[in-house]
Amino acid sequence: MADRTVRMYNPTHRLQRKQAPALTDEPVVQWRNQLKNAVREVAVWHQTVYASINKTGIVALSLDGTEQWRFKTDAGMSSSPAVVDGTVYVGSDDNHVYALDATTGRQQWRFRTNGCAMSSPAVVDGTVYVGSRDYNVYALDAATGKQQWRFETDGRVDSSPAVADGTVYIGSDDHNVYALDATTGRQQWRFETEFKVRSSPAVVDGMVYVGSDDNHVYALDSDGGGLLSRSPQQWCFETGGHVRSSPAVVDGTVYVGSDDNHVYALDATTGRQQWRFDADLSVSSSPAVVDGTVYVGSNDNNLYAVDTTDGTEQWAFETGGWVRSSPAVVDGTVYIGTTDYSDDNHVYALEDTGTEVFREKTEHVGTNTRAYQACPNCEADLSEYDNPQFCPKCGTKITAGKNSE
């Protein structure tokens, strides 16, 4: 294989590239770190893996799997960490956004919202942009945590912001995609879908690509339709399930997962399907695209490597739990987190050479304020139910402890 490239996102959620060692056709476990609680998301920065953990908080691991530090909150974290200039910015289920020293884990500041901050922050030009389940989008000073502005929507904001050319793009449970002035928070335009927007937008070449729980992927003009006030929609593509995966856009192709158990490759200009890859369960993980390979997780417990040309499977790596986190690919190694809701939750490092060299099991810390988050079969939102017995969407029996987050 030719040399691959490192997956790195800027705040537009567009891929940036640099050369990295190639991966082989079959993955090898370099190490795995076993954690007591579900691993929501992972990020890699300066030889450190940062993993947000359900019920606990965030843990920092060295590239050999050794724990460097741990920061505990009262309700854990679902947000993906953003690491900028030596600071980790991350939202928490305890209704706070935190800024932590990336080396020591020491808290620099925290900002309180009135709901879970499950949105992943975007940090641009000294400002942290993040959504909250209190229906608001916030802009905070990155150095102090002081609020610069707040924009209120009519629903929870679990979508993560993308920032490009002075505009913040973000979805809301009120069915809308919003474009906000990054300096003032003033609404520039909004686009209404038919259901919740929990997918995070990707902004590439003047287009905004985003999924919706109405089962569609949308391509929108970033200027909202221009001076003619036409609809910003350029195309939409219908899948068979909710689209909570965030699109990755590379070389004119949009890669995105769906709750219909598929990964799609769509022409970025026309929306035409180029190929479809079939998993066994829903795909809410956001793809990472690295030099001809799409890396993406599924609730069927697998991490897949798929050829960008035709969607053929290169390999599949079976874990012990759902792979909802989005892969991070750095220097020839793929880092992922898994969710099992028993005692089998891991951060994995998969590399072209080596064997499993490190494993650590941690103890349960903290409490969970949201006992039921999503149906394990169809991922229907269960967070508004105190003690659901069956999923209201698909009828799956909900077992306490096993299906709860």
Question: If we measure between CA atoms, which residue out of 339, 350, 397, 359 comes closest to residue 76?
Answer: 339
81-192: which CATH architecture?
Beta Barrel (2.40)
**CA gyration radius, the chain:** 19
Q: Rounded distance, CA 275 to CA 207, Å? A: 21
List pLDDT tens digits, range 381-405. 555 444 454 565 555 555 443 333 3
Residue keyed to tokens 């945590």: 145
Q: Running DSSP on this structure, what letter comes out for residue 405?
A: -
Chain centroid to Cα 183, Å, comes to 25
Give a three-class secondary structure readout of 303-355: EEEEECCCCCEEEEEECCCECCCCCEEECCEEEEECECCCCCEEEEEEECCCC
Q: Rounded distance, CA 188 to CA 181, Å? A: 7
Chain mean pLDDT for the chain: 80
Question: If we measure between CA atoms, which residue out of 81, 95, 2 comes closest to residue 44?
Answer: 81
Return the amino acid letter for 98. Answer: Y
Q: Give me the pLDDT at residue 319, please.
A: 82
Residue keyed to tokens 């593509």: 237
Determine the number of helices (DSSP H) and then strands (DSSP E) in the chain. Answer: 0, 36
Q: Give me the pLDDT at residue 260, please.
A: 96
Does the CA dihedral 230-234-238-239 come out positive or negative? negative
Provide the whole-model pTM: 0.81
List pLDDT tens digits, range 166-199. 999 999 999 999 999 999 999 999 999 999 999 9
Low-confidence ranges of the chain (pLDDT < 70): 1-41, 54-55, 226-229, 340-345, 351-405
List pLDDT tens digits, range 329-358. 888 888 888 776 555 567 788 864 323 323
- What is the domain partition of the chain in residue ranges? 81-192, 371-405
Q: Give me the pLDDT at residue 345, please.
A: 67
Q: Give me the pLDDT at residue 12, please.
A: 60
Q: Rounded distance, CA 318 to CA 167, Å? A: 40
The answer to whether the beta carbons of residues 153 and 174 sit under 8 Å apart is: yes
Return the amino acid letter for 61. Answer: L
